[in-house]
Amino acid sequence: MNSLSTNIIESSAGAVGTELVVRPIREGELEKFRELMAKHHYLKGDHSAGDTIRYVAELGGRWVALLLWGSAAYKLKHREEWIGWNTGLREARRKLVVGNRRYCLLTEKGDAPNLASQIMGACLRRLRGDWLEHFGYAPLVAETFVDPNLFKATCYRATNWVPLGLTAGSGRQARDFYEQHDVPKTLWVKELVSGARKILADAGPLPEDCRAAVPERLRGKPCATEETCRSLLEVFAGLPDPRARSGMRYPQRQLLAIMAMGMLCGCPDLQAIVDMGQSLSQEQLKALGGWQRRKTGCYEAPSYSAYYNLLGQMDAAAFDAALCQWLNARQGRLPRDLAIDGKVLRGTKDDNGHRLELIALIENKTQRLVAQESAAVISAEDKHKQEGELTCARRLLNGLPSLEGALVSSDALLTVADVAQTIVQDKGGDYLMAVKENQPTMLRYIENTFDATHPGAPVPFFGKAR
């Protein structure tokens, strides 16, 4: 629990200071909060959407102010320019901006000078902690609107908020409908932590206490910069396109780049990749060399059939090689906690009964792809034989430039001497391998080595939990 935010303020008569407490309202106080807000705030009511916290400020146990915090505005030109994020980042991270939707003083004017700014300061100091406790994430930026015809925004200036200019004078009434009310307001913003704007505009991973703010449906959505999109496009541009030229709307390099982005973001199937592609911003689609409609000028995301038709003809090995080349060129940015494993893809059986088997090197924490290889047919003469997971894994590891500083974990199938040697001696990494009954001598040696021989010795865990 967060401790109560308190200040000692001096009354207008210069009397002994009184303790100021700012806290979220308690159970049973909502009705009183709403009645006072409706009575004293010029907009009446306490309308809010999304995650919401209502605060009360007390002076000697007496309620002196009400504050309502809720979700931020859907889209604001000045805010977007101030933060510097693109459409995709804004959609994914908008919950990290919270709005001060109502602020109502219950005291008479002049009763306590600087009271409003002291209450705002106390509330801001505890806002991120309360949000993390209630909703599982901590916001980075606060915003609010002030009618310049009615208020001077003194308390916001005093607590280091920044004015960004007037709004357009319209309000959002539905998902895609705005109503003009012709009352422009000044937009004020404040970073709740140092460097908040840079964090929001950076396409890299969010801080741990911010990640839950990204909606679950968008967690597989790429926040790739335009530079990243163009670099993916370039790496696939040299691959030959097996499709017929007639009726080909979407370039192969664009389809492959979006597929690679989907794999890196953990999309579990083709439909998830299609959905991810549909959520890309116009800037991202343009950087990916997308198809542009002449009438509207908008870039169109590929359809399901475009990917499906290409998958049946594309050179999977060339795709893997190009993607690994792109990943290896960014070796310094790759994660260091890795796992290697193989999976057989459902619905990929060919005329000879082979299913597509992929051996992948992934990041343990996010399950994002780092590199992969597909199992190949052993010989043209015997088309019913396909190389095993171990052989394919050896080829994948040998093709990596370096595993310096990385820990690679694997299941018992890959617990063999030459794989361990490749990881440690050839690539400079470390391994964490499972040992089961398929390696009876090694298993017996490990059990004997860790056998407890004196009282109080730790007992290792072997086998399945019971």
pLDDT, tens digit, 9 for 90 and up, residues 90-100: 878 899 999 99
Residue 150: what pLDDT?
A: 87
Higher pLDDT, 413 or 2: 413
Residue 13: what pLDDT?
A: 35
Mean predicted confidence (pLDDT) in 52-71: 93
Q: Residue 414 is encoded by which pair of tokens?
A: 């890959």
pLDDT band for 24, please (50, 70, 90 cuts).
Answer: very high
Average pLDDT over the chain, rounded to whole? 80
Residue 17: what pLDDT?
A: 53
> Distance (Å, rounded) from C-alpha 373 to C-alpha 312?
18
DSSP H stretches of helix in 247-315:
252-264, 270-278, 282-287, 304-311
Residue 393: what pLDDT?
A: 85
Residue 15: what pLDDT?
A: 37
Number of helical (H) and strand (E) elements in the chain, helices listed first: 15, 17
Residue 101: what pLDDT?
A: 92
pLDDT band for 175, please (50, 70, 90 cuts).
Answer: very low
Query: What's the distance, CA 426 to chain centroid?
Result: 35
pLDDT band for 110, please (50, 70, 90 cuts).
Answer: low
What are the residue boundaries of the structural domains of the chain, listed by start? 5-218, 220-329, 332-345+353-466
Residue 1: what pLDDT?
A: 40
Mean predicted confidence (pLDDT) in 411-427: 86
Q: Is the pLDDT reported for residue 16 higher than 50?
A: no
User: What does each C-alpha distance from 18 to 12, 21, 124, 201, 417 come to in angstroms?
Assistant: 12, 10, 20, 42, 73
Q: Is the pLDDT reported for residue 140 higher than 80?
A: yes
Q: What is the share, in percent, of the chain residues with pLDDT greater than 90?
A: 25
Q: Is the pLDDT reported for residue 244 higher than 80?
A: no
The full length of the chain comes to 466
Tell me yes or no: is domain 5-218 CATH 3.30.300.30.
Answer: no
What is the architecture of the domain spanning 332-345+353-466? 2-Layer Sandwich (3.30)
Mean predicted confidence (pLDDT) in 155-165: 93
